[in-house]
């Protein structure tokens, strides 16, 4: 067996995440009854929005606008979403076929955010923020465009996983590990937390709930 020479585990996770994000984003727009362009924009924005935000904040030309492959993956998944949706299967976004790859994407994107932030010389807080924004930025942009309160702000243990993953990156590198190992720790932490949250329906409390205790 000959291994694919340039496809690291990291790039594979990134591709899985892009595909899952594009699929979820497109299906959300189909449910909102947007036209084909709207569906394509929502899918591509969900997949690429986090990375573009990351690069804009640290002053890099967005990788998504200079590479071709990311976009082809996103567009292929938009087409897939349209086919799936026109066959009547719109409930797919809550199925493990989508939520598990979506968790992989969150983990991969959080890890790239932490890596880019560390390279740009950000503070510990900056690294955690960039990990989180890279992981959830795409879906926030999509929800703002579709006039919904970003789902990551609503009683869900989603962005929190990326925050903790960013802290794991910082802890690992502060302990002397390399940035690559830190990125691995970030991805593993984010993925593990997200999968556990999906399985156990974790949610953060609201302040109302705290007040009532």
* The two structure tokens encoding residue 104: 């992989």
* Shorter beta-carbon distance to its own copies: residue 9 or 61: 61
Taking residue 73's Cβ as centre, other Cβ atoms within 10 Å add up to: 20
Query: In sequence order, which residues have a C-beta less than 8 Å from that of residue 142 and are 6 or more positions away?
Result: 25, 28, 29, 42, 45, 46, 49
**Residue placing its CB nearer to its own copies in the complex, 2 or 71:** 71
Structure tokens at 210: 């705290």
Residues that bind its own copies (CB under 8 A): 29-30, 32-39, 41-42, 52, 56-62, 64-68, 71, 82, 85-88, 117, 120-126, 129-130, 140, 144-150, 152-156, 159-160, 163, 203-208, 210-211
Q: Which is nearer to its own copies, 4 or 207 (CB)?
A: 207
Instruction: Provide, rounded to whole angstroms, the least separation between the CB of residue 56 and its own copies.
Output: 6
**Which C-beta is closer to its own copies: that of 108 or that of 140?**
140
128 CA to centre of own chain: 14
Shortest distance (Å) from residue 1 CB to its own copies = 32
CB of 160 vs its own copies, minimal distance in Å: 5
CB of 10 vs its own copies, minimal distance in Å: 21
Q: Judge contact between 130 and 29, C-beta under 8 A.
A: no
Nearer to its own copies, 5 or 35 (CB): 35
Q: Which residue has the tokens 């942009």?
A: 141
Chain-centre distance of CA 36, in angstroms? 23
Instruction: Name which of 9 and 153 has its Cβ closer to its own copies.
Output: 153
Q: How far is the CB of 61 from its own copies (least distance, A)?
A: 6
Nearest distance in Å: CB 196, its own copies: 16
Q: How far are the Cα atoms of 71, 164, 211 from residue 207, in angstroms, in the given order?
A: 40, 21, 6
CA proximity to 33, closest of 86, 109, 104: 86
From its phi and psi, is residue 166 left (phi > 0), alpha (psi between -120 and 50) or beta?
A: alpha
């Amino acid at each position: 067996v000959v291994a694919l020479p340039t496809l690291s585990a990291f790039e594979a996770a990134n591709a899985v995440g892009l595909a899952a994000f594009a699929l979820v984003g497109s299906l959300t727009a189909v449910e909102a009854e947007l036209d084909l362009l709207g569906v394509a924009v929502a899918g591509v924005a969900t997949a690429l929005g986090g990375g573009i935000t990351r690069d804009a904040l640290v002053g890099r030309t967005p990788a998504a606008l200079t590479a071709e492959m990311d976009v082809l993956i996103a567009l292929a998944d938009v087409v897939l979403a349209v086919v799936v949706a026109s066959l009547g299967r719109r409930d797919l976004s809550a199925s493990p076929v989508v939520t598990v790859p979506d968790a992989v994407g969150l983990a991969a994107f959080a890890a790239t955010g932490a890596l880019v932030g560390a390279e740009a010389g950000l503070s510990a807080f900056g690294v955690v923020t960039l990990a989180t924004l890279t992981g959830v930025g795409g879906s926030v942009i999509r929800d703002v465009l579709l006039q919904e309160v970003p789902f990551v702000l609503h009683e869900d243990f989603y962005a929190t996983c990326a925050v903790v993953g960013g802290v794991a990156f910082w802890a690992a590198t502060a302990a002397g590990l390399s940035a690559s190992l830190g990125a691995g720790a970030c991805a593993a932490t984010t993925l593990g937390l997200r999968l556990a949250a999906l399985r156990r329906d974790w949610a953060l409390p609201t302040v109302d709930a705290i007040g009532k205790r």
